[in-house]
Structure 1
Amino acid sequence: MKMAFYGSSLLSSYWNGAATYYRGMLSELAKRGWDVTFYEPNAFDRQNHRDIEPPDWARVVVYDATPDACQTVIARAAEADVVVKANGVGVFDDELLNGVMDAANPRALRLYWDVDAPATLAELRQTPDHPLHRRLPQLDAVLTYGGGPPVVTAYQAMGARVCRPIYNALDPATHYPVPPQPRFAADLGFLANRLPDREARVERFFLEPAGHNPDGRYIIGGSGWETKGLPTNVTHVGHVGTADHNAFNASALAVLNVARNSMAEVGFSPATRVFEAAGAAACLITDAWEGVELFLAPDEEILVARDGQDVTDHLRALTPARARAIGEAARRRVLAEHTYARRGVEVDALLRDALAARRERSAA
């Protein structure tokens, strides 16, 4: 079975938080017999910041960010049994959405895979003429990497036939415990790019607690923070490639997850970082959001903070032994329930069932 997947980037996580999710999901689908071709634009300097070279489980087509090149890869959709347009490609998103859905073989499945459903839904509510409004009733399914019941209800109300959350997960082959590295040593580590939809929450949950604890050691990784005024006890280490995520997560007493505003408001949206940290057996502190207990048990497998003071209180009470116990419990939980292998089984069954149902309708 051939799958044509149009997304931001499989090869680079540079300003591309979906990379780990794409790699985990698509590598598992490849193990189940899917012939995956991933189309990504040469944009945002990502090709100069590759984390991986083209893998053996997918063909990667990198195309120039020009109208002609876009039309060339759109035409390739006709070759696939399943055509996937992901949100947030960053260039020619509307043209890709309309183009690949029109170019797809009539017998192919057409999917929209939303890796930022809360933001997409907010955009749809504010933009009545958004092309996705017209396309939703024509799609076979919308898959999202989070959002739970609120997102499913919203998408179906807008015309989606099927909406299924396919949550982030752990790939134990890429995220696992490693020895700590002095360059990432801290009381609290935080890893995320600087984005407008998250910055105020980062100030509240990370920067303000750091400023109120001048004797503590804090480290922040990710792009964009170099122009941000940081407390003197916060070290910025710039972009941290996926190859260094395990060391980053393993080197601090605890690491922090801060959801973007839209995801925190909707809930049921565990970020990739949650499972990466758990895979490395790190003690994770997360800002509070609805549904966290469906993935990790508060106070046993994860620490939940309602505000910056909670973050400070957690750190003050945290001993290395307790941090280690929480991290190890989180790793056991995600290995048992939240791996990409389990997600891959779910998506594979969904796609094959949908294709079989389509063939039966065609034969009737």
Structure 2
Amino acid sequence: MMPVAPAPLRVVVLGLSLSSSWGNGHATTYRALLNAFAARGHDVLFLEREVPWYATHRDLGNPGFCRLEFYRDLAELGRWRDAIADADAVIVGSYVPEGVAVSALVQRTARGITAFYDIDTPVTLAKLERGDEEYLAAGQIPGYDLYLSFTGGPTLDRLMDQYGSPAARVLYCSVDAEAYRPLGLPHRWDLSYLGTYSADRQPKLERLLLEAARRAPQLRFVVAGPQYPEDIRWPDNVERLEHVPPGAHSEFYAMSRFTLNVTRDDMVRAGYSPSVRLFEAGACGTPILSDIWAGIDEIFVPGEDIILVRESEDVLQTLLEIPESRRLALAAAVHRRVCSHHTAAHRAAELEAYLRRYSSSPEQAGSGPGEKATS
């Protein structure tokens, strides 16, 4: 007798934003993951808090792959109480406005599996250590059946041992390999950086990109992203772009001979926290220079598909001395690595396996990854 395929999952996701990628990396993460998840036959409802800064910067209308609905406040969120109660799984993301109240509503309403999807795990844990419960209370962690973390490694043990999560599992970010791909455009910049301003990243951006630009005025650089203070002194050979929408990311990376990855301090301390920009650039076949943190060598192979840098000297050595044949080899290697292990299709399969494994419904349950993964 042929085995019966498990029924499609009905999933409700309450996340920071799906409609707008302005000033956040959550939207592109959700878009890639949920598009691939829906392609596996599942039904997704995404509930997004209506806030003015995203409402005026929307770059996604009807998603097509899921139903997108907005709520203005917690009272209006109550309109979706039945959908939350009836779903096979309800996932609440990090940085959701009034997230503690949202988690409380979900945990007392949902009859299916509940999961917290932390796209900012080291930041979350640092906030909890300070007693800052902006979007998640420490006491709510044991109430989630699953804690899906952007960070792997020892952080997963900490979530279970210190905070009481029944099951902390890694779900790294990923990339839509159809939307992010090599384009073969002429190079406009020798080194690019794409990222929203962050005070703790800025010293490394100063050291690795701006200092390199000052020392090599013949090279071309670009920093793209919003919220940079007006008092930053940009070298003349550093172009500034306020925002690059996701639909233009592939073109941005294609015009970059190399691109730079800079990691927030909390994520460096935790390790095992790859940025989505790593996978996006890699899928575009753009060689990557990255700062260094524990676990990066379990995701990439330094010297083969990524270049690790500490100082501006390392950056300039790469930009000025690596021959084109080596640059092309790096580009091909990082493209292979990302497309073989880090696409949205890979993450959607992992998410489905987690949800089925920890489901209380026999018809939804099935085999899936149960070990704490680190890569």
Q: Which has the higher helix share?
A: 1
Tell me if structure 2 keeps the 8 A contact 1:83–1:101: no
Q: Which of residues 86, 92, 95 is equivalent to 2:101?
A: 95
Q: Which of residues 345, 349, 352 is equivalent to 1:345?
A: 349
Q: Which of residues 135, 139, 147 is equivalent to 2:140?
A: 135
Q: Which of residues 215, 218, 222 is equivalent to 1:215?
A: 218
Q: Does 1:245 align with 2:249?
A: yes
Give the aligned length. Answer: 354
Q: C-alpha distance in 2, partners of 1:222/1:193?
A: 5
Q: C-alpha distance in 2, partners of 1:133/1:268?
A: 22
1:96-145 CA deviation, whole Å, 9 max, x = no partner? 1111222212xx10111100000001111111877522111221110012
Tell me if structure 1 keeps the 8 A contact 2:174–2:343: yes
Indicate the residue corresponding to 2:322 in structure 1: 318
Q: Which of residues 118, 123, 126 is equivalent to 2:127?
A: 123
User: Map of 1:242-321 to 2, 5 A cutoff?
Assistant: 242-321=246-325
Change (3 A) 1:180 1:47: farther
Change (3 A) 1:357 1:74: closer
Query: For residue 62 of structure 2, what is the amino acid of its counterpart?
Result: P
Indicate the residue corresponding to 1:30 in structure 2: 38
Change (3 A) 1:58 1:360: closer
Which shows bigger deviation, 205-214 or 325-334? 205-214
1:247-281 CA deviation, whole Å, 9 max, x = no partner? 11111210101011111121111111101111110
Indicate the residue corresponding to 1:40 in structure 2: 48
Tell me if structure 2 keeps the 8 A contact 1:142–1:162: yes
1:208 counterpart SS class = helix
Which shows bigger deviation, 273-282 or 195-204? 195-204
Q: Does 1:329 align with 2:339?
A: no
2:201 counterpart SS class = helix
Which contiguous aligned blocks of 4+ residues in structure 1 show a shift greater than 3 angstroms?
Answer: 70-76, 128-131, 356-361
Q: C-alpha distance in 2, partners of 1:39/1:324?
A: 42
Indicate the residue corresponding to 1:14 in structure 2: 22
Q: C-alpha distance in 1, partners of 2:94/2:155?
A: 15
By how many angstroms is 1:226 displaced? 6.0
Q: Which of residues 159, 166, 169 is equivalent to 1:155?
A: 159
2:359 counterpart SS class = helix
By how many angstroms is 1:343 displaced? 1.6
Indicate the residue corresponding to 2:79 in structure 1: 72
Q: Does 1:83 align with 2:113?
A: no
Query: For residue 225 of structure 2, what is the amino acid of its counterpart?
Result: G
Query: For residue 253 of structure 2, what is the amino acid of its counterpart?
Result: N
RMSD (Å) for aligned C-alpha atoms: 2.1
By how many angstroms is 1:93 displaced? 1.7
2:116 counterpart SS class = strand
By how many angstroms is 1:8 displaced? 0.9
Tell me if structure 2 keeps the 8 A contact 1:26–1:36: yes
Indicate the residue corresponding to 1:175 in structure 2: 180
Indicate the residue corresponding to 1:58 in structure 2: 66
**Aligned-pair identity (%):** 30
Q: C-alpha distance in 1, partners of 2:327/2:132?
A: 48
2:139 counterpart SS class = helix
1:168-188 CA deviation, whole Å, 9 max, x = no partner? 223211100113267xx1111
User: Map of 1:181-220 to 2, 5 A cutoff?
Assistant: 185-220=188-223
Which shows bigger deviation, 345-354 or 313-322? 313-322
Query: For residue 175 of structure 1, what is the amino acid of its counterpart?
Result: Y
Q: C-alpha distance in 1, partners of 2:334/2:33?
A: 21
By how many angstroms is 1:53 displaced? 2.1
Tell me if structure 1 keeps the 8 A contact 2:153–2:271: no
Q: C-alpha distance in 2, partners of 1:180/1:226?
A: 31
Q: C-alpha distance in 1, partners of 2:81/2:53?
A: 22
Indicate the residue corresponding to 2:228 in structure 1: 225
Q: C-alpha distance in 1, partners of 2:244/2:155?
A: 31
Query: For residue 272 of structure 2, what is the amino acid of its counterpart?
Result: F
Change (3 A) 1:70 1:356: closer
1:203 counterpart SS class = helix
The TM-score, its normalising length taken from structure 1, stands at 0.91
Q: C-alpha distance in 2, partners of 1:360/1:296?
A: 34
Query: For residue 30 of structure 1, what is the amino acid of its counterpart?
Result: A
Q: C-alpha distance in 2, partners of 1:83/1:39?
A: 11
Q: C-alpha distance in 2, partners of 1:103/1:311?
A: 52
By how many angstroms is 1:205 displaced? 1.9
